[in-house]
Structure 1
């Protein structure tokens, strides 16, 4: 049975010299919960979807299509063996560490009931310098990208609550084949896949749709 293994938040930002914003909130730590989960409302909807969780770089994180970040414990365990280091829940900056459910092959637009909240899969996490510096791994952005285990971002469709031990169920799967993994490859290493992302409709973040259209214009003009 898929479950929430850990619910992780950062209650404050930490000043660092490696983050573009000068601060980071990537260091998420497990909490007992339950916590309220709702569409972000801070600063015009740019905040976290998890009550009490803070955002370090408002231009790159949070907001409607990145309200909640989830990562599978199974993928953390894979990385733990690969890197030879212990990785606690929340180590990748995820709000929700899950067990028993696949993020990589989830479909964009797939609906997950987590506790009493309803979440919609909206795409992958793209690695950045802050992520690499926080983990202390040289070449991390390239390595993370090559492995294709990005975890999934979610929109909050119905507000609710969840806590460690809550069940996760997939309540609806859309009629297309745009997975989190496919979107990740399209946005990182295989730009030729970008047009396929439009098959996921309104579940695709607006900035991604804009990128697809911009690429099409460039190709038509070239």
Structure 2
């Protein structure tokens, strides 16, 4: 299920800094992430040595909407970022979307909720959801209508929870070691919670692997409107 070209191009960390465009109460954000020089420990947020992020040394400032077990790690495909580079007409270095992992050779939009990734020799991740754009992301990108444009394109990248901790670095191979028996992709989940709410009942097939907030939203929709 793996391919030698599926790997990490970089592992990116962010430090808190003050910006004028976030609604976070302290006015700081860690979205500006830069590639790490060496290995990075990845574990469960809140465990010893970890804050709200699943990466040691990475800062999550707005814990209302970011970080935590279901959003421990965020990955973005270099291929999708290259597409945005062509559309925006400017370079987007690894980490520019606030992603922890910049990957190559992997279709993140087509990843299944509950899919397992083995990254490097030990780290095991589980796909939980796509990334919902926010005001801070728009301010960081400095592009007009960015939130709407990002949602329209639908290449959201993917969030993961950490099943088995491990140490990773740029160049590590990524192996897809488990694909669940349903058809709920990251792209489907993203559309369901953003622009096509009628798709929400289909998310229930992913079960407990789904991001907890998305699962609750799907269940509420079904209770109110039926499947």
Report the TM-score range of the alignment, normalised by the length of the smaller protein. over 0.9
Which runs of no fewer than 5 residues in structure 1 stay unpaired?
none
- State the Cα distance separating 1:219 from its structure 2 match: 2.4
Q: Find the aligned partners of 1:66 and 1:207 in 2 and give their Cα distance.
A: 11
SS at match of 2:63: coil
- State the Cα distance separating 1:17 from its structure 2 match: 2.6
- Pair 1:14-2:26 in alignment: no
1:132 paired residue number: 138
1:165 paired residue number: 171
- Contact 1:112–1:170, Cα closer than 8 Å, also in 2: yes
SS at match of 2:75: strand
- Contact 1:46–1:64, Cα closer than 8 Å, also in 2: no
Normalised to the residue count of structure 1, the TM-score between the two structures is 0.95
SS at match of 2:46: coil
- Contact 2:184–2:203, Cα closer than 8 Å, also in 1: yes
Q: Alignment partner for residue 156 of structure 2, among 150, 157, 162?
A: 150
Q: Alignment partner for residue 90 of structure 2, among 63, 66, 85?
A: 85
Deviation digits for residues 8-28 of structure 1 (CA, Å, limit 9, x no counterpart): 001x21122321212111000
1:171-190 superposed matches below 5 A: 171-190=177-196
Q: Alignment partner for residue 25 of structure 1, among 2, 26, 30?
A: 30
- State the Cα distance separating 1:210 from its structure 2 match: 1.4
- Contact 1:4–1:164, Cα closer than 8 Å, also in 2: yes
SS at match of 1:122: strand
- Contact 1:104–1:150, Cα closer than 8 Å, also in 2: yes
- Pair 1:58-2:63 in alignment: yes
- Contact 2:208–2:215, Cα closer than 8 Å, also in 1: no
Q: Find the aligned partners of 2:149 and 2:98 in 1 and give their Cα distance.
A: 17
- State the Cα distance separating 1:46 from its structure 2 match: 6.6
> Which stretches of structure 1, 4 residues or longer, exceed 4 Å deviation after superposition?
none
- State the Cα distance separating 1:56 from its structure 2 match: 1.4
- Contact 1:132–1:140, Cα closer than 8 Å, also in 2: yes
1:191 paired residue number: 197
Comparing 166-175 with 199-208, greater Cα deviation is found at 199-208
Q: Find the aligned partners of 2:126 and 2:142 in 1 and give their Cα distance.
A: 31
Q: Find the aligned partners of 1:125 and 1:50 in 2 and give their Cα distance.
A: 17
2:74 paired residue number: 69
Q: Find the aligned partners of 1:150 and 1:128 in 2 and give their Cα distance.
A: 12
Deviation digits for residues 118-167 of structure 1 (CA, Å, limit 9, x no counterpart): 00011100011111111100001111111111000001000001100000
- State the Cα distance separating 1:218 from its structure 2 match: 2.9
